[in-house]
């Protein structure tokens, strides 16, 4: 029995909840099921399908959280994919690259750091992507806070049913 993705009434991801909490929210009428997982649980008189994705009936206000800037979070933002060649790597095979090199005033910020494989990082060297003729796959920026919460450390391995709600 796997946990479930809980969405706000506006379909924004809120958290990952246990299957028990998900069933409770459904029984109390506080959420509706959008996708189910295999299996069901039984009470003395009823059977309940296990939810995979549920949405709250009423919107709750959640303050925006900032994502801590770190090497691991850069890799997670870029889905462990080199932003120059597009290949996926294990984190021990990745480096991070300054889009505008440090020697030219580039800083370690969300907008200036991307995940890069060692080969591409070496090929780019002390140049900008334009100078090296190595365009970025996507423009770097600060990620949304939710996929980086502690309960979702490996969001790339979550169920397929969650993907439409996580990567929009």
pLDDT digit string (tens) for the chain, length 168 residues: 788 999 999 988 888 889 999 999 999 999 999 998 888 888 889 898 999 999 999 998 877 777 888 898 899 889 899 999 999 999 899 999 999 999 999 999 999 999 999 999 999 999 999 999 999 999 999 887 655 454 444 455 677 788 777 754
User: 40, 63, 86: which is the final residue of a domain?
Assistant: 63
Residue 161, in any domain of the structure? no
Q: Which DSSP helix (H) or strand (E) runs through 74?
A: helix 71-77
Give the per-residue pLDDT at 146. Answer: 56
- Using the structure block, give the residue that is written with the tokens 């691991």: 72
* Domain identity same for 75 and 51: no
Residue 148 domain-assigned (yes or no): no
- Residue 156: the pLDDT is 55
Read off the pTM. 0.57
What's the DSSP call for residue 45? S
User: How many domains, the chain?
Assistant: 2
pLDDT of 140 reads 94
* 35 and 85 both lie in a single domain: no
Tokens representing 72 are 């691991």
DSSP string of 16-42? EE-HHHHHHHHHTTSEEEEEEEEEEEE
Specify whether 14 is located in the same domain as 52.
Answer: yes
Distance CA(82)–CA(157), nearest Å, equals: 18
Answer whether 115's CB lies under 8 Å from 78's CB.
Answer: yes
Q: Quote the pLDDT of residue 28.
A: 94
H or E, element range at 72: helix 71-77
Q: In this structure, is residue 118 part of a structural domain? A: yes
Check residue 73 and give its pLDDT. Answer: 87
Q: Is residue 164 part of a domain?
A: no
| Position 36 in a domain | yes
Residue 117 three-state SS: strand
Q: Which residues contact 88 (CB under 8 A, 6 or more apart)?
A: 79, 80, 81, 82
Among left, alpha and beta (phi > 0; psi -120 to 50; other), residue 76 is: alpha
Tally of residues, the chain:
168
Structure tokens at 4: 């479930």
Answer whether residue 9 is part of any domain. Answer: yes
Q: Domain containing 43: what range?
A: 4-63
**CA-CA distances (angstroms) from residue 123 to 37, 88, 119, 145?**
45, 18, 6, 32
Please tell me whether residues 92 and 112 are part of one structural domain. yes
Residue that finishes a domain, picked among 46, 63, 80: 63
Statement to judge: residues 81 and 45 lie in one domain: no
Q: Is residue 146 part of a domain?
A: no
CATH number for 110: 1.10.30.50
Q: Is residue 152 part of a domain?
A: no
């Amino acid at each position: 029995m796997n946990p479930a993705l809980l969405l706000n009434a506006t379909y924004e991801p809120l958290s990952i909840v246990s299957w028990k909490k998900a069933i409770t929210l459904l029984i109390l009428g506080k959420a509706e099921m959008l996708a189910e997982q295999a299996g069901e649980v039984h009470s003395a008189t009823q059977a309940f399908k296990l939810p995979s994705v549920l949405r709250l009936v009423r919107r709750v206000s959640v303050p925006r959280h900032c994502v801590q800037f770190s090497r691991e979070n850069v890799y997670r933002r870029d889905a462990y994919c080199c932003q120059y060649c597009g290949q996926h790597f294990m984190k021990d095979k990745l480096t991070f690259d300054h889009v505008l090199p440090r020697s030219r005033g580039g800083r370690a910020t969300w907008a200036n750091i991307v995940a890069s494989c060692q080969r591409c990082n070496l090929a780019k060297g002390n140049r900008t992507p334009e100078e090296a003729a190595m365009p970025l796959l996507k423009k770097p920026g600060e990620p949304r806070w939710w996929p980086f919460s502690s309960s979702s450390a490996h969001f790339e391995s979550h169920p397929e049913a969650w993907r439409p709600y996580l990567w929009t």
